[in-house]
Amino acid sequence: MGVIKAYAQATIEAGAFEPLDQVYVENKIRALVGDEDVPAKAGKLVPQLVELAVQRGKIEAGQTAREILNDQLYDLMTPTPSAVNHAFWQKHTVAPAAATDWFYQLCTSNDYVKVDAIQKNVAFTETVADGNELEITINLSKPEKDPKAIAAAAHDTAKKYPQCALCLENEGYLGRLGQAARSNHRIIRLNVGGHSWGMQYSPYAYFNEHCIFLDTKHEPMKIDQQTLINLVEIERQFPHYFVGSNADLPIVGGSMLAHEHYQGGRHVFPMMKAKIKQELDFPAYPAVQAGVVDWPMSDIRLRSEDTNQLIQLGTHIMAVWNHYDDASLQIQAVDAAGTRHHTVTPIMHREGAEYVLDLVLRDNNTTDQYPLGIFHPHQKLWHIKKENIGLIEVMGRAILPARLKDELHEVKQFWLNAPNQIAAAHLPWAKEVAARRAITAENVDQVLHEEVAQVFSDVLADAGVFKNDPAGEAGWRRFLQNL
């Protein structure tokens, strides 16, 4: 069978068209790749069609043009946004998980969620010295930027449409150099905090069913009481997902501070499984259980079926932290110029009828000694992780740069006294590990996993405002007295 005819049949079987539409759909495909059909080969059909378009000069051979055509073709088998929303909310009335199962399947089958690329990522789990289990990933899925797009961006000063990668206007957008193709993109509309929001999946997911909840207005991120109200409302609608927000300040925040959004998904992170090391009592909020979490970062956990008390106590904790100083630990809420330096990373999930809220205390001050942040990975750890510690890492899942795949292979070669090209940045660490561990060909992979996980644990400890040492414990006591 011809590849054009085969893909037309596939789009009809997906439900976007009826059998009567066969000729119409074939012609839609021909408009994109050329008129003559050729025999289909084994494997996915869309890459074959894209290659056909390149060979016939219908598109350029560059990465951007290929991605645009790929998503145009997949858009043919994707229902319209109104149809997607109608089907989603019909299924949601039966069960929220049924709705997200259906939507996630749609977003993987139409190649919006890049399953093949995500499977390239390296991932493993290890228990570290403090007893916590950490998840390590090396992100290999997200493609490098198109060189043409980089060059174009350097000279492009025009106002953008869409304004950013999270704007609602991305839904169905064709794409261009420097702006991702989104023809096959669909967003679920929902009400959060009395405002219009959207829910979509992340194309290059960092965990299972990684989704994004986004304000339909392009407004900066802000952490306050409304954030907690919003998280509760999202949990009511999606009780099988966690939801959390990156902090709203540079250094301790995520990479997208210009657009209000949260992240969520169906994954139980290591921090969620961490135990309470100190119970806290707040008599004014009797329905709320509270405690300090046994975790490298500084986390207060609240749990309750009473969401009003949960929100009120969470708001109180944030208000105190936002004005709290401890000079002995270099903790300063507001500097002499009036710049705010304190915020939280708030994360919520459900355990039955209970809402569980983690408030991770963040401080983005810098000094000459720590120019990238006092509570940021310190320089000796940059060989593994130098980037911001955002929401996902706060919860114990490392998102490490792609460079490490090859670099860590050279570290293993170094440990085995084999020819290697170990990077100078890794050498002090590699020597220190080799001095205290007996490393063989049989255990080198396990040693590598354990030691990288321990570095990530140290990264989280650097980001914690109250360290797990006597000075940090004393700092916790002083702060808790202020609550």
- What's the rounded Cα separation, in Å, for the pair 136 and 456? 8
User: What are the strands of the beta sheet with 122-127, ordered from one edge?
Assistant: 122-127, 133-138, 397-400
Full DSSP string of 136-190? EEE---SPPPPHHHHHHHHT--SPPSSSSTTSGGGTT---BTTB---TT---EEE
pLDDT of 150 reads 46
Q: How far apart are CA 207 and CA 135, in angstroms?
A: 10
Burial (CB < 10 A; 0-12, 13-18, 19+), residue 205, is buried
Mean pLDDT score, 87-105: 98
Question: How far apart, in whole angstroms, are the C-alpha atoms of residue 289 and residue 451?
Answer: 35
Q: What are the extents of the domains in the chain? A: 3-75, 81-110, 215-397+473-482
What sign does the CA torsion over 392, 396, 402, 403 have? positive
**What does each C-alpha distance from 149 to 152, 154, 184, 235 come to in angstroms?**
5, 9, 21, 38
Q: What is the DSSP string of 302-361?
A: EEES-HHHHHHHHHHHHHHHTT--BGGGTB-SB-TT--B-EEEEEEEEEETTEEEEEEEE
Instruction: Give the pLDDT confidence score for residue 178 in this predicted structure.
Output: 83
Give the pLDDT score at 143.
62
pLDDT, residue 320, reads 98
Residue 67's pLDDT band (cuts 50, 70, 90): very high
Has residue 154 got a pLDDT over 70? no
Please give the pLDDT value at position 295.
Answer: 97
**Run of H or E residues at 363:** strand 354-363
- Predicted pLDDT at 254: 79
Is residue 177 predicted with pLDDT exceeding 90? no
For the segment 292-301, what is each residue's pLDDT rounded down to a tens digit?
999 999 999 9
Q: Compute the chain's Rg from CA coordinates.
A: 25
Q: Are 113 and 89 a contacting pair, CB within 8 Å?
A: no
Band of the pLDDT at 159, cuts 50, 70, 90? confident
- The predicted model gives 79-95 an average pLDDT of 97
Question: Within 13 Å, how many C-alpha atoms sit on residue 467's CB side?
Answer: 14
pLDDT tens profile 251-273? 998 778 999 999 999 999 999 99
CA distance 11 to 29: 11
pLDDT at 147: 52
Query: Per residue in 8-64, pLDDT tens?
Result: 999 999 998 999 999 999 999 999 999 999 999 999 999 999 999 999 999 999 999
Burial of 159 from C-beta contacts in 10 A (0-12 / 13-18 / 19+) = exposed
Query: Per-residue pLDDT averaged across 406-417, rounded?
Result: 97
- Is 193 strand, coil or helix? coil
Rounded mean pLDDT of 150-165?
Answer: 68
Residue 103 pLDDT > 50: yes
- Residue 152: what pLDDT? 56
Separation in Å, CA 145 to CA 180, 242, 435: 10, 30, 40
Please give the pLDDT value at position 160: 84
Is the pLDDT assigned to residue 232 strictly greater than 80? Answer: yes
Q: Model confidence over 113-128: pLDDT tens digits? A: 999 989 999 999 999 9
CB contact at 8 A, 241 and 265: yes
* pLDDT over 90 at 146, yes or no: no
138 and 122 Cβ atoms separated by less than 8 Å: yes
Q: Is it the case that residue 433 has pLDDT exceeding 70?
A: yes
Q: Which residue from 479, 463, 473, 399 is spatially nearest to 247, judged by alpha carbons?
A: 463
Over the chain, what is the mean pLDDT?
Answer: 94
